[in-house]
Amino acid sequence: MLITVIIPTFNRLPLLIRAVNSVCGQTYAHWELIVVDDGSTDGTTGYLATVQEPRIRWLRQERRGVSTARNLGIAAARGDWIAFLDSDDYWHESKLQRQLAELAAFPEYRAVYTDEIWIRRGKRVNQKKIHRKYGGWIYSYCLARCIISPSSILLTRSLLEEIGYFDESLPVCEDYELWLRLSSRNPVLFIQEPLITKTGGHEDQLSRSMWGLDRYRVKALTKTYDSGFLTPRLQKETAGEIAKKCAVLAKGFRNRQKDAESKMYLDSSRQWESLSEAGSCSPAGALQNNLFYDGPGHHLGLPSPEFFGKNHLCAG
């Protein structure tokens, strides 16, 4: 079983070398690695050109973002299974082998992710209870925050083809949006064992440089709400989460003396709260409101609800 591993990277050469070495050190050896350089200027191209490992390929694009980089890697993949690894993270040596063993024990699953160790500025950070992870039909747990790390998941390529690739219109929270699509239509297997290490606190992390990430989570949630794949119960939960995030944004804009934006999000919060209580569909034209939706993303390729049949109905 060939697994294609995809690492997107931009100007993280020392960390990239560590990530690549963690793939090469896997106890499961039937993999290929595609490194997608998103326009690095730090010698990354020179390093990749010297790599002699025949299982490693590399592609280059000019600063089009992490979603486009991952999607480019998926398009070039030869494996039937896909794994992602962020260039600042690294795998533990048994990561792939443990995931394949778990999938063999539960063959009805097409995606599996693992627990993780967090390192921030060189020090280990304990995860809080709110960061607890779950397996099975986990959509409800994915609403508040992104509980699946891209570096931890292994899934079939056919599943990605069905639900669509990463949304290239989102500069951040693109993984959150994809996992909403995934978990609303499919159960996800979880291994309660840390098999990756995530490192953070870098100056180049978008989450550090951008305020108001909930703006993009609201867009992702609204797209999911209107996807046609949610049961009435999950629609109500989604509307409630949108209301909460809009309320947080309204407060944030108010604190920044941006009254017009604050009022816009406050009004939206009340509207979505009403929908969560009534359980009705979103208002006509809501998806065309730029507050929530920028238009269809690239490579979404969403199938019809009929394709999923009973799988979709079980989600609620």
Rg (CA), the chain: 20
Q: What mean pLDDT do residues 207-213 have? A: 70
CATH class for the region spanning 3-204: alpha beta
| Residue 292 pLDDT greater than 80, yes or no | no
pLDDT tens column, 166-202? 999 999 999 999 999 999 999 999 999 999 999 987 5
In this prediction, residue 278 carries a pLDDT of 81
| Residue 271 pLDDT greater than 70, yes or no | yes
pLDDT tens column, 38-66? 999 999 999 999 999 999 999 999 999 99
Q: What is the mean pLDDT of the chain?
A: 87
Question: Predicted confidence band at 295 (pLDDT cuts at 50, 70, 90)?
Answer: very low
Q: What mean pLDDT do residues 113-121 have? A: 95
- pTM of the predicted protein model: 0.85
In this prediction, residue 174 carries a pLDDT of 97
Q: Where in the chain is the domain with CATH 3.90.550.10?
A: 3-204
Question: Predicted confidence band at 229 (pLDDT cuts at 50, 70, 90)?
Answer: very high
In this prediction, residue 281 carries a pLDDT of 53
